C-alpha cells in the first residue's frame, strides 16, 4: 500500500464522510477490467469502500456520473442487487483522477470460481431473473430519464454509435464487420415492445456471487435506454461461454433455448427470433468496436498498457469468425459450402 496515497485518501474521507476519526487500514488496487481503475479502501469501522477512478485511457468512453447515478437509482429496484453508492467526486485531488465511491459487496465475479461451483445453475437463474427485472423496471419513476436519453429508434441509435466507433478506430479494413454493418442497416429489427433500461455490459463476470447468491450487478458504465434484447444478445455472445467443455452453454449456464425461455419468463417479454439475431449481430460489431478501440489507442501512443494491443490481437479475427457464422444463421450470407460451390 502506498502510505502517501492512503494518507491522502484518509484525509479526504474524513472530510467527505464527516467522520474525523476515520482511519484507512488498507488500500490496494484491483486489477481486471479495462475501463475504470479500481481500488479497495479498508476503513476501521463500517464496510470497506470501492473507489472507481476515471482512467487516463479507456477501452471505451463512459460517463462516471451516469454510472454513479445508476447505482443510486437501481438501489430502489427490488431484486436488482447493487452496491451502495456513497459519493461521486469530480475533484482529481485525493486519488489523482475523478472517482466515485461505493460499498464493497462480498462475492466474486471470477469464472474460475463459477465453473466448479455446485450452485452454478442457481446463480445463472438468479442472474437471468435480475436481467428480467432490469428490462422491465420503471426507469421513468427511478429518475433514469434525467441521466439517459430515450432513443426514437433504439436499433438505429446503437448501430450509428458502434459504426461510428469502427469508422474512427479501425486500423485496417474489416471486410466481415463491414458486411455485417451493411446487413444490419438493410434489415432493421422490429421495434421493441418497450423502451427499457439496458445495462450495456450484462454478462458472466460482471456480477458478483457469494456461494449460491448473486450479490451485486456491476459495471453500469455502458447503460443506456433501448431495446431489452440488446442485453440478452450481449450475454449470449460466444465470448462469455466460459465452459470450454460445454461451449453451447450461454454464459456458462444454460443451452440457448433454455436460456432465452428463462429470460422470457423473468421479463414477461417475448424474444422475437429475428430481432434477437439482429441484436446478436450488433453485439458482435459492438465487441469488435471495443477491441479495436484498445488497439487504436495503443497504436496512437495514448497508452503504454500492453493489454491494449493484445486484446484486438486475440479477439478481432475470432469475433469476425463468430459474426460471419451468425450472419449465415440469420440468412444474411451463404453458408461456407454454398459460398464455395460457385468457385
Partner 1 sequence: MRPPASQVLFGMFMRFTAMSEESADDFARGELRILGIFAALLGVEAERAAAVRVAEIEALRPLLTRGVGVVPHELSAQLQAALDETAGSGRPEELAVSALEARMSRLQEGFVQLQAWLEEHAADDAARELLADCWAELHASVARKAFPLP
Backbone φ, ψ for residue 271 (5° rounding): -95, 90
Instruction: Point out which span in 71-79, 130-138, 225-233, 306-314 binds partner 1 (CB under 8 A).
Output: 306-314
Q: Does 38 bind partner 1 (CB under 8 A)?
A: no
Cα separation, 202 vs 74, whole angstroms: 14
Give SS3 for 86: strand
Count the neighbouring beta carbons within 10 Å of the beta carbon of residue 152: 9
H or E stretch including 52? strand 49-53
Residue written as grid cell 444474411:
332
| Cβ proximity to partner 1, 72 vs 203, nearer residue | 203
Report the length, in residues, of the chain.
343
| Cβ proximity to partner 1, 20 vs 32, nearer residue | 32
Binding mask 253-292 for partner 1 (x = CB under 8 A): ----------------------------------------
- Cα separation values, 111 from 27, 176, 207, 224, 239, Å: 25, 30, 11, 26, 12
Q: Does 1 bind partner 1 (CB under 8 A)?
A: no
Exposure string of 205-237, with b = 16+ CB inside 10 Å and e = fewer, is bbbbbeeeebbbbbbbbbbbbbbbbbbbbbbbb
Footprint of partner 1 on residues 158-197 (CB under 8 A)? 172-173, 175-176, 178-179, 182
Q: Does 301 bind partner 1 (CB under 8 A)?
A: no
Q: Does 320 bind partner 1 (CB under 8 A)?
A: yes
- Cα separation values, 87 from 101, 123, 238, 251, Å: 5, 30, 36, 32
- The answer to whether 61 and 55 have CB atoms below 8 angstroms apart is no
Cα separation, 87 vs 122, whole angstroms: 33
| Cβ proximity to partner 1, 87 vs 314, nearer residue | 314
Cα separation, 107 vs 114, whole angstroms: 11
Cα separation, 132 vs 160, whole angstroms: 26
Minimum Å gap between C-beta 333 and partner 1 is 6
Greatest CA separation for the chain? 78
Q: Does 306 bind partner 1 (CB under 8 A)?
A: yes
Minimum Å gap between C-beta 65 and partner 1 is 29
| Cβ proximity to partner 1, 155 vs 315, nearer residue | 315
Binding mask 216-255 for partner 1 (x = CB under 8 A): ----------------------------------------
Instruction: Point out which span in 23-31, 101-109, 153-161, 217-225 binds partner 1 (CB under 8 A).
Output: 23-31
Among 1, 274, 300, 314, binds partner 1 (CB under 8 A): 314
Footprint of partner 1 on residues 101-160 (CB under 8 A)? none
Instruction: Point out which span in 41-49, 67-75, 202-210, 316-324 binds partner 1 (CB under 8 A).
Output: 316-324
- The answer to whether 275 and 226 have CB atoms below 8 angstroms apart is no
Those residues with Cβ within 8 angstroms of residue 122's Cβ, 6 or more apart along the chain or in another chain: 212
| Cβ proximity to partner 1, 136 vs 318, nearer residue | 318
| Cβ proximity to partner 1, 28 vs 265, nearer residue | 28
| Cβ proximity to partner 1, 321 vs 329, nearer residue | 321
Minimum Å gap between C-beta 306 and partner 1 is 5
| Cβ proximity to partner 1, 191 vs 334, nearer residue | 334
Residues that bind partner 1 (CB under 8 A): 28-29, 31, 172-173, 175-176, 178-179, 182, 306-307, 309-310, 313-315, 317-318, 320-321, 324, 333-334, 336, 339-340, 342-343
Amino acid at each position: 500500500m502506498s502510505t502517501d496515497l492512503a494518507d491522502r485518501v484518509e484525509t479526504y474521507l474524513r472530510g467527505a464522510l464527516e467522520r474525523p476519526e476515520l482511519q484507512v487500514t488498507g488500500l490496494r488496487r484491483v486489477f481486471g477490467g479495462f475501463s475504470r481503475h479500481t481500488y479497495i479502501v479498508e476503513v476501521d469501522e463500517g464496510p470497506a469502500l470501492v473507489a472507481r477512478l476515471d482512467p487516463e485511457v479507456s477501452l471505451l468512453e463512459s460517463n462516471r456520473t451516469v454510472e454513479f447515478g445508476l447505482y443510486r437509482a437501481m438501489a430502489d429496484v427490488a431484486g436488482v442487487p447493487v452496491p451502495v453508492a456513497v459519493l461521486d467526486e469530480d475533484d482529481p485531488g485525493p486519488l489523482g483522477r475523478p472517482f466515485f465511491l461505493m460499498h464493497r459487496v462480498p462475492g466474486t465475479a471470477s469464472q474460475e470460481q463459477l465453473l466448479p461451483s455446485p450452485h452454478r445453475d442457481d446463480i445463472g437463474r438468479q442472474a437471468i431473473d435480475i436481467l428480467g427485472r432490469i428490462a422491465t423496471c420503471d426507469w421513468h419513476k427511478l429518475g433514469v430519464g434525467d441521466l439517459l436519453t430515450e432513443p426514437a429508434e433504439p436499433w438505429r441509435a446503437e448501430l450509428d454509435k458502434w459504426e461510428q466507433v469502427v469508422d474512427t478506430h479501425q486500423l485496417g479494413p474489416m471486410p466481415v464487420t463491414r458486411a455485417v454493418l451493411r446487413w444490419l442497416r438493410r434489415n432493421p429489427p422490429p421495434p421493441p415492445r418497450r423502451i427499457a433500461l439496458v445495462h450495456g455490459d450484462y454478462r458472466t463476470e460482471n456480477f458478483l456471487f457469494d456461494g449460491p447468491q448473486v450479490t451485486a450487478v456491476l459495471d453500469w458504465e455502458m447503460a443506456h435506454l433501448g431495446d431489452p434484447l440488446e442485453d440478452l444478445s450481449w450475454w449470449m455472445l460466444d465470448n462469455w461461454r466460459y465452459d470450454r467443455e460445454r461451449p453451447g452453454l450461454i454464459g456458462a449456464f444454460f443451452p440457448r433455448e433454455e436460456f432465452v425461455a428463462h429470460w422470457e419468463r423473468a421479463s414477461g417479454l417475448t424474444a422475437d427470433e429475428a430481432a434477437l439475431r439482429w441484436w446478436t449481430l450488433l453485439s458482435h460489431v459492438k465487441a469488435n468496436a471495443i477491441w479495436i478501440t484498445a488497439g487504436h489507442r495503443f497504436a496512437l501512443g495514448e497508452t503504454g498498457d500492453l493489454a491494449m494491443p493484445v486484446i484486438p490481437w486475440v479477439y478481432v479475427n475470432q469475433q469476425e469468425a463468430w459474426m460471419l457464422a451468425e450472419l449465415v444463421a440469420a440468412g444474411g450470407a451463404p453458408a461456407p459450402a454454398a459460398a464455395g460451390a460457385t468457385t
